[in-house]
Amino acid sequence: MLTKRSNQILLPGFVFLTLFSLILTSCATIPIAQANPKKEAGMASFTLKTGLGNGKMFFIGVGGDIDGKENPDLKVGPGDMVEITLVDGEGAMHNLVVPDFNVASKDVVGKDSTAQVSFTVGQDGTFPYYCGVTGHRQAGMEGKLIVGSGKAAVMEDAPEIVRDPTDLPGPIGDRPPQKVRVDLEAIEIVGKLAKGTSYPYWTFNGKVPGPFIRVRVGDEVEVHLKNAASSSMSHSVDFHAVTGPGGGATMTQTAPGKETSFTFKALNPGLFVYHCATPSVAHHIASGMFGLILVEPEGGLPKVNHEFYVMQSEIYTQAPFGQAGPQSFSETKLANETPEYYVFNGAAGALTGDHMLKAAVGDTVRIFFGVGGPNKISSFHVIGEILDRVYDQASLTAPPLTDVQTTLVPAGGATVVEFKLQVPGRFILVDHALSRMERGLAGYLMVQGPQNPEIINGTPTTGSGH
Ligand SMILES: [Cu+2]
């Protein structure tokens, strides 16, 4: 009989609180940098000079209402064009950043050297400006840019793009091969990345990951790819389950408003990633265009009580993790492989709330787990569980590994894991590269049922493990 341990629960629970408080405290404002179409937009100019004194660093206003004031409030109207000149008052290196508007000046070095930034503000709100040189903000170089009343409209949450982990078709089991039609639609949608934060997703069928496709070996699959008329880009689909050039991508490059199709024979059983393969492919994948296709072996897979569909990916935003408001894609961070967010099923903490996985003591669960990437490997682990069976690299024809703690899943790869639940509580799906947990990557498996003190017994020390 297998024994299960859940002594790792407490620490990550605490870590996770940190993640959520970060998200919760940074959700207040919508800094949309665009002209207000209703009102004649004005122009506001300011000069800030850097200063040192009493062990502090600060900005001093020069001229107008802010003259001589330390870290002055910069008051502007909604829709105004704002111009700020930075003057180096003492010779040390400084700069000026207003991250809510993606504004960063060049560095000034040497007394009286200057830098200038100009940008357009959107609606009412209060936004920090500060010196971006390490330590200078903490030393005091920070003030406020106040737009209009300074009171931000609370951002309505953008529509949800999370694919529920139970949203997958049931087993095919024992039927002969047949024709199967698969309909995919490329949909570009600004969706909820975290609370009060949105991201311009590109999706298959409006959710991340795309629909779970389930066929059996020998099936003839007819794929139709529509690209919504509202799309800005062409899209396509490459199935790793396809034998043939581009995995279908050469036949499905689809312009907005158009539809393409092709057929393929599912020759090899396994769990395969599919993804958009329109250049820049990494950008399309990082935006959410990936999913899994399961090709069942003859006779299907062993029966389990629950099957779940989970995929990991990275999101590359210009602003740092936790920044409020609408986010935009960073080509530089994608090229450097330095994501800000790591997510299961498309959004930060997506599988910890309404979409958590649920099961009961005594159940067996199977997780179809894939990595969309585009770049990072996952060290997939379930805190407090041992994976009874791992279909390593998603091979369904090799015998599964048994009794595995953490399993590697490559970018553009998948795995199938199965385990039986012996004790109740909260089990946490993670990538054991655990820094990623603080950037949105965690999912809960909540298990209901009677305690089993023979397997684990004790009193939680702090907080709650379940
Ligand atoms: Cu695409």
How confident is the model over 436-449, as pLDDT tens digits?
A: 999 999 999 999 99
Give phi and psi for 180, each to the nearest 5.
-130, 135
Cα of 233 vs centre of ligand 1, distance in Å, is: 7
Q: What is the pLDDT of residue 362?
A: 98
Cα of 183 vs centre of ligand 1, distance in Å, is: 15
Residues paired with 418 in a beta bridge: 366, 389
Whole-model pTM: value is 0.70
Q: What is the pLDDT of residue 5?
A: 42
Which domains, ranges and CATH numbers included, belong to the chain? Answer: 6-147 (2.60.40.420), 179-296 (2.60.40.420), 306-448 (2.60.40.420)
Q: Which residues of the chain register pLDDT less than 70? A: 1-41, 152-155, 462-466
Cα of 202 vs centre of ligand 1, distance in Å, is: 7
- Three-point CA angle 18, 22, 27, nearest 5°: 155
DSSP calls for 377-445: -EEEEEET--EEEEEGGG-SSSPPEEEESEEEE-TTEEEEEEEE--S-EEEEEEESSGGGGGGT--EEE
Residue 378 is encoded by which pair of tokens? 């996952």
Cα of 207 vs centre of ligand 1, distance in Å, is: 13
How confident is the model over 351-361, as pLDDT tens digits?
A: 999 999 999 99
Cα of 338 vs centre of ligand 1, distance in Å, is: 21
Phi-psi region of 463 (alpha: psi -120 to 50; beta: other; left: phi over 0): left
Cα of 228 vs centre of ligand 1, distance in Å, is: 11
Cα of 306 vs centre of ligand 1, distance in Å, is: 31
Cα of 189 vs centre of ligand 1, distance in Å, is: 12
CA dist 149 and 78 (Å) reads 9
Cα of 329 vs centre of ligand 1, distance in Å, is: 14
Cα of 313 vs centre of ligand 1, distance in Å, is: 15
Cα of 385 vs centre of ligand 1, distance in Å, is: 36
Cα of 438 vs centre of ligand 1, distance in Å, is: 28
Give which of 302, 280, 272 is closest to 420, Cα–Cα: 302
Cα of 212 vs centre of ligand 1, distance in Å, is: 17
CA dist 381 and 378 (Å) reads 9
Cα of 355 vs centre of ligand 1, distance in Å, is: 26
Cα of 336 vs centre of ligand 1, distance in Å, is: 20
Cα of 284 vs centre of ligand 1, distance in Å, is: 5
Residue 43 is encoded by which pair of tokens? 């122009």
Cα of 232 vs centre of ligand 1, distance in Å, is: 10
Cα of 193 vs centre of ligand 1, distance in Å, is: 19
DSSP letter, residue 351: B
Cα of 192 vs centre of ligand 1, distance in Å, is: 19
Cα of 362 vs centre of ligand 1, distance in Å, is: 42
